[in-house]
Amino acid sequence: MVKRTFCIILILLLSPLSLLAAQVSAVADRDRIGAGESLQLELRVQGSAEDDPDLRPLDENWDILNRSQSKQMQIINGKISHSLVISLALMPRHTGELEIPSICFGSDCTIPLPIQVSDATATPETEAGKLLLEAEVTPRQALAGSQLLLTVRVLHRVDLAQASLSDPQPQGVDAEIQKLGEDHTYETRRNGYRYQAVERRYALFAHQAGTLQIPALQLDAKVATTRSSFDPFSRSIQSLRRSTQPIDIEISPIPGDLGSREWLPTSNLTLEDDWQTHPPQLRVGEPATRTLTLSAAGLLSAHLPELNIAVPTDWKSYPDQPNRSDAVDTDGVIGTLQQKIALVPTQPGEVELPAIDLDWYDTRAQQWRRAHIEPLRVSVAPAAAGTAPVNLAPQTASSPVAPDPLKSHNLPASQQPHLETTQTTSSAQFWPWLSLILALGWLLSLIFFWWQRRQLQPRKMSKKQNNQLKITQEKDAYNAILTAANQNNPKAARDALSAWSRLHWPGSEPWDLDLMAKNCGDPLASELRKLGQALYAKNAPSWRGEGLTEALRHSLQSRTNPSQQEDLPSLYPATKGSTPK
């Protein structure tokens, strides 16, 4: 009797626990889908689940595209109830008879669900044809380094709520890929059906021969579908996936007759020179910029070579960093390289600049071609500072002499004017006074010319005074160089160096920076070249004068050591008791 009573009490105690156990179930909105179509799976839990769901069994055949959940709590007649709904958007990984495996919440598990996934191809006539993905490559065979165009199109007859397209990942050979511009939208037709199209293009460049492989591209999109079986009063969002077929392209090797030429495979190449259409006005010592422009269809600007042109041996050349840019047209990419070169002539006269040639390979005609710029003959005018100085001294032997009006009285007797013998006394006295006035005027003229010539000619100084004056002038020029260097002013430094050269070599033309660098040793020669680069090269870094200052001081100090070679001719003639400053 006691034993029976104990069993009854135990059953009554365990009954509420069984009522509290969670009830789980799995419901799919469809049991038949096509390849690339998703389905909605709901995991429903009534009561309190022991643990979170274990979704790892789905990874074998399904991709989880989206996950959401909702919880509810109800109180009826004092009783509390809980419910949980987890919604999953699943995409099949392959076709055939698949299964949604049992999903467990701790010890509570759902039952498996069979799903049929057909391999029907998405065509405009099928239901799957409401969303299409196309990819094509032109040409299907190309040379290494030449351009390939990959065109990808998304065609849809339904509104896209969201879409994501994978990027191409070339394989097989080393290749470079670049997206061309923005996506292009338009309308098109497939088998009588009208589609909205979104087109994306890429340029590919295979760097070696072999088989270039483009794996399948994948599109994941969300579209609005018919009313859901779970909620007949609303529209649902369906996830779709489309994939392209892999593409193989044969890449041929570079022609064997390349030799030392640049490999430029293109359908069209142009080489232009602005001096051919607008000849420059050249002058000795003044820089002039020559601009060469190289454009190639089907080549990126990064693949274009820098243009190194030949210049006359006595000219100075300062090439700038090339400016590269890429444009896009219907045939793909167009690479452009613009090369600016600052040229400084050093001698006046007529000069012929040599022709410029560049070989390239025509991918359409499959043959070599040559871009050519004709030789250019230019005229270089003398430098303004190099013209002969004007001689301000009065002319001596070659100067015209004012005619002496008194010489008119030396005419032959037959040409003398006939005078009447009845002249008055006043007329006889006029001629002596006129002669006196003319004589005084001539004397004053001689005095004026002598005074003017004395003012123009430098006074003669003793040798000691002349040396002292030269030292003072060269010191002033040296201090001007240091001042310009301390102020980091390259133009002022060049002018100061030129002024110093006039003082040091009074009988020659002013030396330019290049000539000074050739006659000086390092470090001064190096600093002079840096100064020239800062003056004439475009986009050159800002010039700092500390290096020039140190180099000048080093040159002055080295003159005191007889074992060292002079870097620069002496700024100051050596005098007794004097030291350079």
Are residues 115 and 100 in contact, defined by beta-carbon separation less than 8 angstroms?
yes
Residues 6+ apart with CB under 8 A from 222: 160, 161, 162, 163, 237, 238, 239, 240
Are residues 540 and 534 in contact, defined by beta-carbon separation less than 8 angstroms?
yes
CB burial string 347-356: b at 16+ within 10 A, e below: eeeebebeeb
Render each residue's pLDDT in the chain as its tens digit; 581 residues. 445 554 444 444 444 444 456 788 888 887 888 777 788 888 888 887 777 888 898 888 888 888 888 888 877 777 777 888 888 888 888 888 888 898 888 888 888 999 888 876 655 656 678 899 999 999 999 999 999 999 999 999 888 888 999 999 999 999 999 999 999 999 998 888 899 999 999 999 999 999 999 999 999 998 877 654 555 555 677 888 899 999 999 999 999 999 999 999 999 999 999 999 999 999 999 999 999 999 999 999 999 999 988 899 889 999 999 999 999 998 899 999 999 999 999 999 999 999 999 999 999 999 999 999 999 999 999 987 544 333 333 333 333 444 443 333 344 444 444 433 334 444 456 677 777 888 888 888 888 877 777 666 555 445 555 666 667 777 787 788 888 888 888 888 878 877 777 776 665 555 677 767 766 777 777 787 787 777 777 666 778 888 878 887 777 676 555 444 444 444 444 433 333 43
Predicted local confidence at residue 207, as pLDDT = 94
Extended beta strands in 231-284, E state:
235-243, 247-252, 265-266, 268-273, 282-283
Predicted local confidence at residue 394, as pLDDT = 37
Predicted local confidence at residue 550, as pLDDT = 81
Residues 6+ apart with CB under 8 A from 135: 150, 151, 152, 153, 214, 217, 244, 245, 247
Predicted local confidence at residue 556, as pLDDT = 67
Q: How far apart are the C-alpha atoms of 130 and 190, rounded to whole Å?
A: 11
Which CATH architecture does the domain made up of 265-384 adopt? Sandwich (2.60)
Residues 6+ apart with CB under 8 A from 334: 295, 296, 297, 298, 326, 327, 328
Helices (H), ranges, 139-193 = none
Instruction: Sketch the domain layout of the chain as residue ranges.
Output: 21-118, 127-252, 265-384, 464-558
CATH of 127-252, one of 2.60.60, 2.115.10, 3.40.50, 2.60.40: 2.60.40
Predicted local confidence at residue 417, as pLDDT = 41
Beta bridge partners of 247: 214
Predicted local confidence at residue 420, as pLDDT = 39
Q: How far apart are the C-alpha atoms of 339 and 320, rounded to whole Å?
A: 7
For the domain covering 21-118, report its CATH number: 2.60.40.10
Q: How far apart are the C-alpha atoms of 32 and 118, rounded to whole Å?
A: 8
What's 562's DSSP letter?
Answer: T
Torsion sign over Cα 331, 333, 335, 336: positive
Predicted local confidence at residue 82, as pLDDT = 81
Predicted local confidence at residue 21, as pLDDT = 60
- The structure tokens listed for 77 are 């007649």
